[in-house]
Each structure stands twice: as C-alpha cells, then as structure tokens.
Structure 1
Amino acid sequence: MIGGGRITDGSIHTRVLANLQRNLAKGAQIQDQLSSGKQLNRPSDSPAGTVAALQLRAETRTSEQYLRNAEDGMAWLGTVEDTLSSASSLVNRARDLTVQGLNSTTNGAIANEALAGEIDQIRDALITHANSRYLDRPVFGGNTTLEGAYDRTTGAFTGNNYDPADPVKTSVSRTVGSDVKVRVDLTGPEAFGDDATGLFKVLGDISAGLRSGDNTALTASLSQLDTSGNKLKSAISEVGSRYNRINQMKDSAQDRLLSVSAQLSDIEDIDLPKTIMEMQLQQTSYQAALAASAKVIQPSLIDFLR
C-alpha cells in the first residue's frame, strides 16, 4: 500500500504565497490596463497583437502623410485657381476696353490714351498675379528657386518650363496615395502663353494700338486676346480637375485612416466596462484567497507560547 506524500507547513506556506503572488500579479496587470487604457503595454502581453499593432501604426502614419500631402496640394492648386480666376476677370475687362477703343468714330486721342493707360494697369496687375506665391514659392514658376516667375518690368518668363517627357524633374507634384502623384503646379506659359505671343505681349500691342489709333492692329490683337482668354479658361479647368482628383484621394485616405484606427483600437484599447468588472472580480478573489489562506495556515507552536 502506497502512502500519501507528507505535506509540511513550509510547503503549505510556499504554495499559499505563490498563489497570492499570482493573484497580485493578475491584479497589477489589470491595474496597468486601466491606468493606460491599453491592453497592450509591452510586447509580452500579446506578441501577435504587437506585430499587428505595429503594422497598423505604420499604415496610420502613411495615411496621415497622404492627408498632409493632399492638403498641401489642394492649397497650392487653390492659390493657382484663385489667381487664374482673377486674371480671367481682368482679361474680360481688357477686352471691353479694346472693343471700346475700336470705336474710333467717337473716341479721341485723349480717350484712347486713357484706355491705353488702363490696359497698361491691367497688364501690370496680371504680371503681379503671375508672380503669385504659395509658401514663398512662385506657383507659376514650375520648380524654379527664383523669387518670381516673371520679370516685373518686361513680363518675360523667368521660371522653369514644364517638360512632359520628364515631369518628375520639371514639375511640382504631391504623392496622395499608393503610387498616385498629382501635379500641383502650372507654369506661366501654360496659363498666360509664351513671351512671343502670350497675354502680356498681346496687352502691350493693344496699348500701342490704342495710342496710335491703328484699328487694324487692334482687331488682330483682339483676336489674340480672345485666344489668351480661352487659354486661361482651359487652365482653370485643368486646375479644377486636379483639385478634384486630390480631394478624392484625400477622402480615400481619411476613410482608410478611420478604418485602420478602428482596427488598431480593437487590438490595443481595453473594453473599459469589462476591465472594471474584471478588476472588481480580481479584488474579490484576492480577498477570498487571503481569507482561505488564514484558515489553511494553522497556528504554530510559537503562537501558543506567546
């Protein structure tokens, strides 16, 4: 017959203390979760969950960067669009003045001089518009590092032209999605024409034609002005389409960010009511363990001798 193993007071004390320590450790873990609001405070809490959380955090940072790029691109394109809209209004005014100047039967030299002076003012205002800046960079200068896209006196383009064969080096773009880049700049020649036949040259010819009273030249310049006006409208349409494209990618990045944040919360964040309940149960369990330990550990001879 095999007898049972001998259980000593020392073994009882050791097991009781070990159980209490495990109980305390579990309570401390729940307390950490309540204090931080996270169920993952160290990799050992959940190795698989930690890997998933790191991957989701990387996606979160990527989506946030796409959002910042989209907002910057929209601000750049917004500056371009507002400038072109104002420029189009000035071109319409210049056209009205040119048509008025063609009415040579009622206009005199003084009236034509006044019209030419206003045309000159419109030309100067348009050059100022063409040198508009965003974050200290000329929006119509391409990727130039100069202060302006146009010479303020001559109206000559001083920026860098866009080359469709090499868009990376000759344009300004923003990455707004995975492998999605949208160009946010518009060079001066694309909006206002080149130095030889562009808007500023046409306005200079109109001013000269008004002062000389040459209606033939004014008629030709009026046709060229209409061409320049249509070019501006096409540029506004192009900028608007790019703005909408970036806005769509921004919405997509926001949706992805919300989705990833929800997934990350499911992995990292605690269920507060559930965790509070677990904490209360753990405290009750610990108190019960203390009471049971007091009954299991019998008084020793020393206790009787006191």
Structure 2
Amino acid sequence: MRVTQGMLNNNMLRNISQGYERMDKYMDQLSTGKKINRPSDDPVVAMRGVSHRSTLDKVEQYERNISEVHNWMDNSDEALNETGQALQRLRELTVQASNDTYDNNQLKNINEEVKQLTNHMKELANTKVNNKYIFNGTDTTQPRFKEDGTLNDAANISNAAVNIEVSDGIRLQANVNPENVFSQQLFDDLQELGNKLSDQNTAGADLDEYIGKIDEHFQGLVNERADLGARMNRVEMVEDRVSQQKVATTKLLSDNEDADIEEVIMNLKMQESVHRASLSAGARVIQPTLMDFLR
C-alpha cells in the first residue's frame, strides 16, 4: 500500500485529537473527583451508582422518619410524665380530703385544686407538636378535647396506632394509646370526685373509693409509659443500624465513582508527555512549505 503525505497528516491529526480527548477526560476526573462524568464513560459504573444512590436515598428517608418518631415519643413521654405528677397530686388531695377532720371550706379549696389539675390534664391530652395532635391517634388534625374542656365527639376520637416506617419492612408505633391515659372514664371519675368534694354531706369514707380509681388510672398510665419506653429503646437500636447502613452505602458509592486522584494526576502527566512527543514527531512528518524556504 502506498503511503501518501496526506495519510501521514491525517493519522497525525487523528492521534493528536485522541490525545486531547484523553487529557480532557483526566482533567474532568481531576476537577470533579469522579471516575465518570456521563453514563457513556462507563455504563456499568453508572448503573451501580444509580443503585447505590437509590439505596442511600431510602436510608436518608428512614433517618428523617426516625427523627419524626423521636419527636412523637419524646413529647409523648414528657406529657405522660406531667400527667403522672398530676395524678399523684390528685391522689394526695383525695387522701387528705378523706380525713374527717377537714371542714367544708377546706374541701372546697381541695376541689379547686382538683379542677385545675383536671384542666391541666385535658390540656396535656391536647398536646400539639408540629401542628399535629399526638394524643388523638391517626386523626392528628383534631384535638381530643374541645375548647370547653369536654371530650370531642365520638366521630373525632381516634385511638389508632400511628405507624412509621423506620427501615425496610419495619414500622414502629410512634404514639401511645390515648384511651389508656386520657379516657372519658378518667375525667368522669374526676368530675364525680369534684361533686363529692362540693357536697356538704360528704363524709371522708365516701372518698375512699376514688383513691382506688385514681390508682387504677395511674397504673394504666405507668403501663403505657413502660410500653413507650420499650419502643423508644428499639428506635435507638434501629437508628444505630440505619446509621451503619448509611456509612456502608456511602462507602460503596465512593468506591464505585470516586477517582483515585494520585492515579489521575499520574495519567494526566503521562498523557501530556505523550502529547508533546506527538507534536514533536508531527512537526517532522509534515513536509516543508514554500513559506519555510522564504524565511
């Protein structure tokens, strides 16, 4: 085959152009820190990257969900703690009132405190966090008690569990069962207690049964808080596992896409040397022109 000057020129230009492309690739890797900057660079790496990013997005969503669960549980636990303190105080007042040495005026004063504690517990039952009522089940837009302090209509009362997904296939209940803490029976009993304290004919022995009723409600609260505490411990364990998954997935994504900067710099330097050698060789291949003889 006869090799012409035009063939030499075209081959030289093609090789120089390819050298530019390789240098451009290494410079892109150096500036972005990534092995590939478009799917066509390496389809296999690109597809693995899509998979790892999808997994990482899910893990980050689980982290946000866990944060929401913590918010529900922490506020619920604080409200239950205050409710327990109120019930303990109500029991103390009832024990005092059951003493026959108290006169009607003293019983009236005790009743005033009972009313205030009852109202306080109703306010706790309407605890609102992030614009959601956390003690009305899944109907978080409705308060458990109306503004006048009476229990909301039956249609607006919900005791359903609020389940939030915190990991693949794992959904945890974020709320407590409000019926076990803020039931209608609790406030009915407190209303009856108040009526007894207001009745001048009430004897100390007439109040003994309410001590037992308050104890029953307090035990229900303790049981619900214990269940909440167990779920809070489990959330922390799930949170640790999700955090480990995030670290592992981030590492996989980095190993798959991040460029070895030292290797990229070395390849770029080598390509620059090859490029200079190509230009030098090309200068010798190209035939002299008339301009060269006119110098």
TM-score normalised by the chain length of structure 2: 0.92
Rounded Cα–Cα distance in structure 2 between residues aligned with 1:123 and 1:223: 17
- Distance verdict in 2 for CA 1:206–1:118, change over 3 Å: same
Rounded Cα–Cα distance in structure 2 between residues aligned with 1:186 and 1:134: 14
Match of 1:35 in 2: 31
Question: Does the Cα contact within 8 Å between 2:177 and 2:224 map onto a contact in 1?
Answer: no
Let me know the Cα RMSD of the aligned residues. 1.9
Q: What do residues 207-263 of structure 1 show as CA deviations (whole Å, max 9, x unaligned)?
A: 222233332331101100001011111111111222222222222222111111111
Rounded Cα–Cα distance in structure 2 between residues aligned with 1:112 and 1:152: 27
Match of 1:160 in 2: 157
Match of 1:140 in 2: 135
Rounded Cα–Cα distance in structure 2 between residues aligned with 1:253 and 1:267: 21
Question: Does the Cα contact within 8 Å between 2:136 and 2:144 map onto a contact in 1?
Answer: yes
Higher relative contact order, structure no. (Cα contacts within 8 Å, ≥ 6 residues apart): 2
Question: Does the Cα contact within 8 Å between 2:186 and 2:217 map onto a contact in 1?
Answer: yes
What is the identity percentage for the equivalent residue pairs of Structure 1 and Structure 2?
26
Rounded Cα–Cα distance in structure 2 between residues aligned with 1:224 and 1:150: 22
Code of the aligned partner of 1:29: K
- Distance verdict in 2 for CA 1:155–1:242, change over 3 Å: farther
Match of 1:180 in 2: 170
Rounded Cα–Cα distance in structure 2 between residues aligned with 1:253 and 1:23: 46
Q: What do residues 59-93 of structure 1 show as CA deviations (whole Å, max 9, x unaligned)?
A: 11111111111111110111111100111011111
Rounded Cα–Cα distance in structure 1 between residues aligned with 2:40 and 2:216: 70
Question: Does the Cα contact within 8 Å between 1:38 and 1:269 map onto a contact in 2?
Answer: yes
Query: What SS does the aligned partner of 2:171 have?
Result: strand
Does 1:234 pair with 2:230?
A: no
Match of 2:12 in 1: 16
Match of 1:87 in 2: 83
Match of 2:207 in 1: 218
Structure 2: which 5+ runs fail to align?
A: none
Give the drift of 1:153: 3.4
After the TM superposition, which segments of 4 or more aligned residues of structure 1 sit over 6 Å from their partners?
Answer: none
Give the drift of 1:303: 3.1
Give the drift of 1:298: 4.0
- Paired positions, count: 291
Rounded Cα–Cα distance in structure 2 between residues aligned with 1:160 and 1:245: 28
Structure 1: which 5+ runs fail to align?
A: 163-169
Match of 1:280 in 2: 269
Code of the aligned partner of 1:13: N
Rounded Cα–Cα distance in structure 1 between residues aligned with 2:277 and 2:85: 84
Question: Does the Cα contact within 8 Å between 2:100 and 2:203 map onto a contact in 1?
Answer: no
Query: What SS does the aligned partner of 1:192 have?
Result: coil
Give the drift of 1:270: 1.2
Q: What do residues 95-115 of structure 1 show as CA deviations (whole Å, max 9, x unaligned)?
A: 11111112222x222111111
